[in-house]
């Protein structure tokens, strides 16, 4: 039997649990009328919290209703890619492409071929015109544009997309837009002057799965794989994963691989260190990339003080970094914007990512291998 768990970023799990409110509202919007506010979605959250997987689920919902899905990413020139590649490919799938007709052929000499544009072909297509061409080929359906890693998007590209999308909305056309990205990047981009319209989109911040959803995912994924969880085993896995979708898949994957049959609590205990180390390399290290030294110092202070507690006082952290509480406010605020810490109650701070404290403490030590 192959391992049924999929701890790969962006890979849809074999069994989906949680996030029902977003999926149900979007399905209702797609089945409704143009202008429904839930047709415009912004999904944000920490790395590995399930944003890309949720986008895929939204794409599936739209596709099941006959909609065309256009997938973009903030890490590339998304407007150029949409206009010159993605949308034309979809148009060619639905209808023969408008092309050129031959007006004259020289058989001798250079063998030149003269052509002219077929009437009606737009020599300078735009995102809006391309989308209108595509929508003109559809009946009873629409177009969903999804943008992943929106925090990496070029501001001009995002503004261009917002203007084109708003133009189509004003003309009552069947379009939808769903974007996903890290919280601090989404906040930064939505503050840009050209993205005012997108601030009115429905926004959902993804948090951890409930214990019930994590348990349902683990049990259903392992069922029929030849290595099911026993009660103690699934309870241990839920506790280790802490509701973090990537960890749910990772813990399930490692426990399934290490077990010879039914997955027990002992099997889960054996893979704990491997799971935490993998979380560190795949999630914590990328999340801390580019964080300034003053903010790293603040995070290390939180890690040293928090111990086994769920949170620590912000005044104690400020003292640990040699500042008065009001002097550390700016650093604390920037880390809150990055989504690396949160304030569970007044005057308290805690980490948003599971096992980040362990990573920060262990990252100070250099492991030597002989």
State the pTM of this model: 0.80
Q: Percentage of the chain surpassing pLDDT 70?
A: 90
Please, which pLDDT band fits residue 123 given cuts at 50, 70 and 90? low
Q: Please tell me whether residue 323 adopts helix, strand or coil conformation.
A: coil
11 CB neighbour count, 10 Å cutoff: 13
Cα dist. 19→53, 108, 112, 205 in Å? 11, 67, 60, 11
DSSP secondary structure, 103-126, as one string: EEE--STT--EEEEEPTT--SS--
179 DSSP β-pair partners: 42, 147
Report CA 345 to chain centroid distance, whole Å: 27
- What CATH number does the domain located at 211-283 have? 1.10.8
For 215, the enclosing helix (H) or strand (E) is: helix 211-222
Is the confidence at residue 97, as pLDDT, over 70?
no
Cα dist. 209→16, 49, 77, 230, 288 in Å? 11, 9, 33, 21, 23
Q: How far is the C-alpha of 190 from the C-alpha of 22, rounded, in Å?
A: 21
Q: Which fold has domain 20-98+123-205?
A: Rossmann fold (3.40.50)
Per-residue DSSP letter, 263: B
Residue 144 is predicted with a pLDDT of: 97
Q: How far is the C-alpha of 233 from the C-alpha of 112, rounded, in Å?
A: 74
Cβ(355)–Cβ(284) below 8 Å: yes
Cβ(55)–Cβ(216) below 8 Å: no
Is the confidence at residue 169, as pLDDT, over 60?
yes
Please, which pLDDT band fits residue 252 given cuts at 50, 70 and 90? very high
Q: How far is the C-alpha of 327 from the C-alpha of 302, rounded, in Å?
A: 16
Instruction: Let me know the angle formed at the C-alpha of 22 by 19 and 26, rounded to the nearest 5 degrees.
Output: 145
Cβ neighbours of residue 271 closer than 8 Å, sequence gap 6 or more: 251, 254, 255, 258
Cβ(71)–Cβ(146) below 8 Å: yes
Q: How far is the C-alpha of 252 from the C-alpha of 267, rounded, in Å?
A: 10
Please, which pLDDT band fits residue 120 given cuts at 50, 70 and 90? low
Please, which pLDDT band fits residue 103 given cuts at 50, 70 and 90? very low
Instruction: Sketch the domain layout of the chain as residue ranges.
Output: 20-98+123-205, 211-283, 290-362
Residue 119 is predicted with a pLDDT of: 54
Q: Please tell me whether residue 61 adopts helix, strand or coil conformation.
A: helix
Strands (E) located in 233-366: 312-313, 341-342, 348-351
Domain 290-362 has CATH 2.40.50.100: no
Is the confidence at residue 285, as pLDDT, over 90?
yes
Q: Please tell me whether residue 250 adopts helix, strand or coil conformation.
A: helix
What are 139's two structure tokens?
């009946």
pLDDT in tens, 125-148: 899 999 999 999 998 899 999 999
Dihedral sign computed on CA atoms, order 237, 242, 244, 247? negative
Cα dist. 5→49, 59, 223 in Å? 16, 22, 11
Cα dist. 277→237, 272, 274 in Å? 16, 9, 5
Q: Which range is least confidently modeled, 86-100, 195-209, 229-243, 321-335? A: 86-100
Q: How far is the C-alpha of 181 from the C-alpha of 192, rounded, in Å?
A: 16
Residue 106 is predicted with a pLDDT of: 40
Q: Which range is least confidently modeled, 15-19, 22-26, 45-49, 174-178? A: 15-19
Q: How far is the C-alpha of 252 from the C-alpha of 14, rounded, in Å?
A: 12
Q: Phi and psi at residue 40, in whole multiples of 5°?
A: -115, 110
Cβ neighbours of residue 73 closer than 8 Å, sequence gap 6 or more: 147, 148, 149, 152
Q: Please tell me whether residue 16 adopts helix, strand or coil conformation.
A: coil
pLDDT in tens, 181-197: 988 778 877 887 777 77
């Amino acid at each position: 039997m192959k391992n049924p768990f999929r701890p790969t970023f962006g890979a849809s799990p074999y069994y989906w649990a949680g996030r029902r409110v977003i999926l149900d509202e979007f399905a209702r919007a797609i089945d409704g009328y143009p202008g429904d506010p839930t047709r415009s979605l912004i999904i944000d959250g920490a790395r590995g919290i399930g944003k890309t997987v949720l986008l895929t689920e939204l794409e599936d919902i739209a596709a099941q209703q006959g909609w065309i899905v256009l997938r973009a990413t903030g890490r590339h020139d998304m407007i150029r890619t949409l206009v010159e590649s993605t949308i034309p490919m979809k148009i060619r799938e639905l209808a023969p492409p408008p092309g050129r007709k031959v007006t004259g052929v020289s058989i001798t000499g250079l063998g030149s071929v003269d052509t002219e544009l077929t009437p009606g072909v737009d020599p300078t297509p735009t995102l809006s015109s391309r989308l209108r061409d595509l929508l003109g080929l559809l009946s009873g359906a629409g177009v969903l544009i999804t943008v992943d890693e929106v925090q990496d998007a070029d501001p001009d590209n995002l503004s261009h997309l917002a203007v084109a999308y708003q133009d189509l909305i004003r003309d009552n056309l069947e379009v939808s837009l769903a974007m996903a990205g890290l919280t601090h990047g989404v906040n930064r981009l939505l503050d840009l002057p050209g993205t005012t319209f997108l601030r009115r989109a429905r926004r959902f911040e993804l948090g951890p799965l409930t214990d019930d959803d994590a348990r349902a995912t683990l049990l259903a994924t392992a069922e029929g794989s030849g290595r099911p969880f026993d009660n103690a085993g699934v309870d241990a896995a839920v506790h280790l994963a802490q509701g973090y979708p990537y960890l749910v898949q990772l813990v399930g994957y490692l426990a399934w691989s290490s077990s010879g049959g039914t997955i027990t609590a002992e099997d889960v205990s054996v893979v704990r260190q491997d799971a935490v180390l993998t979380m560190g390399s795949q999630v914590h290290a990328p999340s801390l990339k580019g964080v300034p030294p003053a903010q790293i110092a603040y995070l290390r202070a939180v890690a040293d003080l928090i111990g086994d507690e769920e949170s620590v006082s912000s005044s104690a952290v400020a003292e640990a970094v040699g500042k008065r509480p009001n002097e550390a406010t700016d650093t604390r605020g920037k880390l809150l914007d990055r989504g690396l810490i949160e304030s569970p109650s007044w005057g308290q701070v805690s980490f948003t990512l599971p096992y980040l404290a362990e990573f920060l403490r262990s990252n100070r030590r250099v492991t030597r291998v002989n």
